[in-house]
Amino acid sequence: MTINRHKGQVIIFETSPEELEQLQALFESGELSRVLGIQVSDIGAIAESNPTAPVLIGVQLRQWFQQNVLDKWEAEATLIGTFLAQEMNNTSSWSEELEGARGGSRSQVIRRYMELLDNPDKQVSFQAALELGETGNPHPAIIQALVKGLQTCHHEETSWQIALSLGELAPNHPQAAFAQHKTIELAEQAVELLVGVKRNSEEQIDVLLQVYSTELEDTLPEGLELTVLDEAGQVWRKTTAQPGDYYNQVGLTTPLGKGFTVELELGDVRVRENFMV
């Protein structure tokens, strides 16, 4: 196991999986720093099968589930890139459908939004999921509508937005998702990296990576590459921004305890962010 200290030092020692799990819980609660008397910024496991592999120290994504907002990161409940792309390509038809859902009694509004979550138009279903989360109202009927939406939705981004809205209204729900974003400087071009997490099973989590321009109405710079590398440094996922793209994204499922690296590259500039699950 490794502990990364505030001065950049790394402590490595042997521990059992059970002990590592206990230390992880202490770290996430903030107790580990207090007990050790040092500022612990991260912990992670080194695979015994490859002891010569480089130690990957990175952001602990499980802190997202505790809603711990880390330095230089900002909590987010919207897939901003998806939202902006829809706003820029807005058509009156789906806008009118949503407008019609906002009037009437609470029960009528909830029922209408439940119908819109199943709408075959992904723009409509995504916006309906977003607006339900923005109500700030954890009414059981709304929670039930979101959970049902997760069961019936076949569009990945809408499913993520439903789960993020669920995280806003019922953060302890097992199907809730959470996201944070951070500004990444690429020479004279700045972009936002959004990282979303939700539980897939007791042993795995789903991760969604989304990159979009800091100037929210601008498209991404052409040729911007978003690459995910595994612990061995091998390319796991990769996507490249095309002309007119408002955002790019990559989804993956990874076991707990594993690490990966997100690489953003534009021209001769490359920035990496390490993550531990």
Determine what percent of the chain is predicted with pLDDT higher than 70.
Answer: 75
Instruction: Give the 3-state secondary structure of residue 43.
Output: strand
Tokens of 130: 């977003």
Q: At what angle do helices 140-152 and 106-117 cross, to 10 degrees?
A: 10
Q: Residue written as tokens 């097992």?
A: 174
pLDDT tens track for 29-61: 777 666 665 656 666 654 444 444 444 567 889
Residue 152 has pLDDT above 80, yes or no: yes
pLDDT on residue 167: 96
The pLDDT mean for the chain works out to 81
Burial readout 212-225 (b: 16 or more C-beta within 10 A, e: otherwise): bbeeeeebbbeebe
pLDDT at 82: 87
Q: Worst-scoring range by mean pLDDT, 83-87, 164-168, 241-245?
A: 83-87
Mean pLDDT to the nearest integer, 132-153: 89
Mean pLDDT computed over 4-31: 59
What CA–CA distance (Å, rounded) separates 159 from 251? 12
- pLDDT digits 0-9 by tens, 83-126: 888 877 765 455 556 665 666 666 777 778 778 888 888 888 89
User: Phi and psi for 133 in degrees, rounded to 5?
Assistant: -70, -30
Looking at the predicted structure, is the pLDDT value of residue 131 above 70?
yes
